[in-house]
Amino acid sequence: MGLAVFDLDGTVTRYGTFFPYLLSMLARRPWRLAYLPRVLPAATGLALGLCGHGEVKSALMRALLGGLAREDLSASTERFVARWSHAHVLAAARAAIEAHRRAGDYLVLMSASPDLYVPALGRALGFQEIICTGVRWNGNRLDGRLSTVNCRGEQKVRCLRQLRERFPGPASAYGNSRTDIAHLTLVEHGVFVNGTASARRTARHAGLTCVRWH
């Protein structure tokens, strides 16, 4: 059995999923936009290099979704996943996932986006395992702080190394951002999808295959 690891945002899906997910939640709760200024300290910290993307992600979830009940979020998440799993997945990504499935490979979705919706979206797309960023709850109410390390960059490298210990056979991995290049180089078939021109040059220099998916 081989291993096939796919990034989500911009690799499997046409666009990033996190902000559309937040917007879909806000469509039914527009009054929560009044809490958006609470994100400014984290956003400023990111711009100054004082904090990372995980802190901004957490601040957004606390401001816009914090305190919402699990059942309320679940219902909205189901609608979001149904729409995105059909309308916003790249045809070439579907074909690649299906090709690995036919080959008997173990399919893993690995994303920095949160576990509010990534596991459901991954299951809808037929992935056997989903690795993503965890979010904390207070009982039945969303806290919004991260319960795991933000699954980006070096964390993806650690996760892929752990996967390779479990699946020592041939492996493929797909990603689209410059921060994905490090973990894509750890497999026999690393594929860089739809990156910027500059990122594609870096990916090619690292020995990765660069493709355009539509």
Residue 112, domain CATH:
3.40.50.1000
What DSSP character marks residue 151? S
Q: Name the stretches of the chain with pLDDT < 50.
A: none
pTM tops 0.85, yes or no: yes
Euclidean distance between CA atoms 3 and 96, whole angstroms: 13
Query: What's the pLDDT score for residue 15?
Result: 93
How many domains are contained in the chain? 1
Euclidean distance between CA atoms 203 and 177, whole angstroms: 10
For the chain, the residue count is: 214
Query: What's the pLDDT score for residue 23?
Result: 94
Alpha-carbon Rg for the chain, nearest whole angstrom, is 17
Query: What's the pLDDT score for residue 17?
Result: 97
Instruction: Identify the domain containing residue 174 by its residue range.
Output: 3-211
Rounded to 10 degrees, the C-alpha dihedral 157/161/164/165 comes to -170
Token output for 189: 């078939």
Query: What's the pLDDT score for residue 1?
Result: 82
Query: What's the pLDDT score for residue 42?
Result: 94
C-alpha angle with apex 122: 81 to 80, nearest 5 degrees? Answer: 10
Token output for 208: 């990765």
Query: What's the pLDDT score for residue 28?
Result: 87
